[in-house]
Amino acid sequence: MKQLAIIGFGAFGRLAASQLAGRFAIGVHDVQVAEAEVRSAGFAPQSLKDAAASDIILVAVPVQAMEQVLADVGRHVRPGATVIDVASVKMLPSEWLSRHIPDSAHIVATHPLFGPQSAVRGLEGRQLVICPIRGDRHLKVAALGEALGLRVRITSAEEHDREMAYVQALTHLIGRSLAQMRIPDEMLKTQTYQHLLDLTGLIGNDSFELFTAIQTLNPYAPEVVEEFVRRAGVLLDQVRR
Amino acid sequence: MKQLAIIGFGAFGRLAASQLAGRFAIGVHDVQVAEAEVRSAGFAPQSLKDAAASDIILVAVPVQAMEQVLADVGRHVRPGATVIDVASVKMLPSEWLSRHIPDSAHIVATHPLFGPQSAVRGLEGRQLVICPIRGDRHLKVAALGEALGLRVRITSAEEHDREMAYVQALTHLIGRSLAQMRIPDEMLKTQTYQHLLDLTGLIGNDSFELFTAIQTLNPYAPEVVEEFVRRAGVLLDQVRR
């Protein structure tokens, strides 16, 4: 069995560990999580150096911390290893991976379009975006995704971020604004309002860290979300006249 | 068979005429629609005076034109008649109805939470809000609504407008802004983004006249929609810092 190191034992790292247990010999590195907690979840805690020297290294840290972690990992990666990230934006992480992971290693950038909340009802049909960065191991990642029941789409980091400016940045801005307003579940409601309630329920609990990453680390996001806020303001001005 | 006059042969007036044909002797008054068009739809065109002298008068004109129409109708309404409106806001129309319809007539304010688009798949389960204004004919309207398969809710005009500030004003502002942006139906999409696409599809085609009425003639709407735009702007400021 190949060694798979998961660096970052947050919500997504834990989901990956539980879904991939049995397919790999899993080690876990996270400086912010006690070793006892990793062990009680059934996994072996590792030092960064040992984790980075595994066959496959899955980096699942917040995007904001990622470049530093990749710089540290890069020093210990062995020739032929595969480094994979799971960040919600892809252009910047792809640059960081190319810069810090030695040429002798493979790089696969991915974005699983699901988290522990949506995975509760199973992984079947959930989407996995794969951006090949270096080498051909993205094909192995695609095969693994399919074996897990995921819908796999292989595309470029640019195309991913362009689409995600709408699919993520816009929906998260709307959902987070509505969650802050605590929009009520009214007695009289339309199908349309139910869409807003459902959207808010699905992403209202996401961390501010993720929200910030989606809005600021995707180069296409600011234009899309600012256009939305601007158009809403203009519409309100128009009706007041 | 009682006489039912439909004043205003726009999208909703036509839907009402087709749904109520057979239950009433229907007459139609609309100064902007040719008599030949009313006849070819199978209904009898009427003067405003004849329409207003019917047993039941259903006013289905845009809210912006409604007060003047009610003032004209009020002069010809007979004792014991019932005047019904179908506007998307209820506090202002209720005031106008009370002011212009003589005390000898019954008044029932209603808001059917559906239009020709959503009624294509049938009326079953659609919502009808009824606000009793004067007399007890709201019970007859409720019975008719139930006979048509509608879910009927009887409430006050104030409570209706308070809930609709969220259910209508907020959803229409978001849907219209997104429709103007022509948000794309991306390949990579989440459940959340599908909610935005569906919402935009459901209300993107509504008239600017209806949008304006929803935003400006509901006294609770401005506070709710402005809070949304403000919170979205503040969130974007926060992430840029």
> Both A24 and A111 in a single domain?
yes
* Domain final residue, candidates B110, B137, B155: B155
Q: What strands, in cross-sheet order, belong to the sheet with B44-45?
A: B44-45, B25-29, B3-7, B56-59, B82-85, B106-112, B127-134, B151-154
Residue A177 sits in which domain range? Answer: 159-240
Q: Are residues B185 and B88 in the same domain?
A: no
Inter-chain touch B191–A118, beta carbons under 8 Å: yes
Rounded Cα distance, A162 and A223, in Å: 11
Q: How many domains does chain B have?
A: 2
Q: Which two tokens stand for residue B117?
A: 């688009």
Distance from CA of A106 to the nearest CA of B (A): 25
Within 8 A of A119 by CB-CB distance, chain B residues are none
* B189 and A199 Cβ atoms separated by less than 8 Å: no
Longest dimension (CA), chain A: 69
What dihedral do alpha carbons B61, B64, B66, B68 form, nearest 10°? Answer: -130
Residue partners of A194: CB distance under 8 A and separation at least 6? none
Can you tell me the distance from the alpha carbon of A185 to that of B99, in angstroms, rounded to the nearest whole number?
34
Q: Is the pLDDT of residue B206 over 90?
A: no
Torsional class of A45: left (φ above 0), alpha (ψ -120 to 50), beta (otherwise): beta
* pLDDT per residue as tens digits for the range B20-64: 999 999 999 999 999 999 999 999 999 999 999 999 999 999 999
Q: How far apart are CA B19 and CA B35, in angstroms?
A: 20
Residues B110 and B217 in one domain: no
Put the strands of the sheet holding A56-59 in their side by side order: A44-45, A25-29, A3-7, A56-59, A82-85, A106-112, A127-134, A151-154
Residue numbers in A near B90 (CB within 8 A): none
Domain C-terminal end among B111, B135, B155: B155
Closest CB to B153 among A176, A187, A195: A187
Whether A236 sits inside 8 A of B227 (CB atoms) is no
Are B136 and B173 found together in one domain?
no
Q: ipTM for the complex? A: 0.86
User: Which of B171, B175, B235 comes nearest A176 by C-beta?
Assistant: B235
Q: Are B144 and B30 members of one domain? A: yes
Same domain for B134 and B192, yes or no, is no
Same domain (yes/no): B91, B119: yes
> What DSSP line would sit under B35-47, residue for residue?
HHHHHHTT-EE--
Q: Which chain B residue is nearest to residue A234, measuring alpha carbons? A: B177
The verdict on a CB contact (< 8 Å) between B233 and A232 is no
Q: Per residue of chain A (241 residues), what is the pLDDT tens digit?
A: 999 999 999 999 999 999 999 999 999 999 999 999 999 999 999 999 999 999 999 999 999 999 999 999 999 999 999 999 999 999 999 999 999 999 999 999 999 998 887 778 889 999 999 999 999 999 999 999 999 999 999 999 999 999 999 999 999 999 999 999 999 998 888 889 999 999 999 888 788 998 999 999 999 999 999 999 999 999 999 999 8
Size of interface A-B (CB pairs under 8 A): 165
Please tell me which of the candidates B189, B225, B239 has its beta carbon nearest to residue A211.
B239
**Contact (CB<8Å) A236/B173:** yes
B171 & B142 share domain: no
B148 and B167 inside one domain: no
Out of B187, B192, B212, the one facing A175 most closely (by C-beta) is B192
CA distance A225 to A167: 11
In terms of domains, do A175 and A148 share one?
Answer: no
CA distance A208 to A6: 23
Residues B127 and B25 occupy one common structural domain: yes
Which of B155, B188, B218 is where one domain is finished?
B155
- B83: closest CA of chain A, how far (Å): 23
Rounded to an integer, what distance in angstroms lies between the CA atom of residue B18 and that of residue B21? 5
Q: Are residues A217 and A142 in the same domain?
A: no
CATH number of the domain within which B33 lies: 3.40.50.720
Closest chain B residue to A208 measured between Cα atoms?
A: B239
CA nearest B180 in A: which residue?
A: A231
* C-alpha distance from B202 to closest chain A C-alpha (Å): 7
